[in-house]
Amino acid sequence: MNFKIETGYRLNVAMIVLNEEKKSLFCKRRNTENWQFPQGGVDEDEHIESAMYRELNEEVGLDKDNVEIIAVSKDLIYYDIPKNLRTRVLGGKYKGQAQKYFLLKLISGEIDLNKENSPEFDQYSWVPFWYPLNQVVDFKKEAYRSALIEFKNQIGK
């Protein structure tokens, strides 16, 4: 898949993982009070779905066999990183991220934040579908709103 990404944005994947109670996986970034969905960058020449599975494994210890893709966002969903944070985030190379969202159903396995290659999160919680919208950092709120609205009719599947 080729994506036309606006200049200054990094291609990224974000995952909304639902458990059997249709609650969403919400993770706390290590050494912060910030909670978010698992997400991560897409490497150059990496297929978007491969990037999603790689990031899912690196961040929360789930493999391809542990989840089922319910839906994928139709378009890229953008957010801007505040100027005062840009030098600390992504090396200051980007003004924001262009995200492809995946709605996933957990079908087996357990969340594992203790993998040696996954230093991003130190806690997780299963939360109601709309809960992350009011808890995520302000600059990601509109991106979360767009993804949740797009996926709201898919959560029953």
Grouping H, G, I as helix, E, B as strand and the rest as coil, residue 56 is helix
For residues 93-118, average pLDDT: 88
Question: pLDDT tens for residues 90-105?
Answer: 777 899 999 999 999 9
Burial of 153 (0-12, 13-18, 19+ CB in 10 A): exposed
d(CA 156, CA 149): 14
The predicted model scores a pTM of 0.93
What domains, with CATH codes, occur in the chain?
A: 9-112+120-151 (3.90.79.10)
* Confidence band for 84, pLDDT divided at 50, 70 and 90: confident
d(CA 62, CA 46): 19
d(CA 99, CA 51): 12
Query: In the prediction, which pLDDT does 115 show?
Result: 64
Copy the structure tokens of residue 138: 């302000």
Q: Which range has the worst mean pLDDT, 62-71, 85-94, 120-129?
A: 85-94
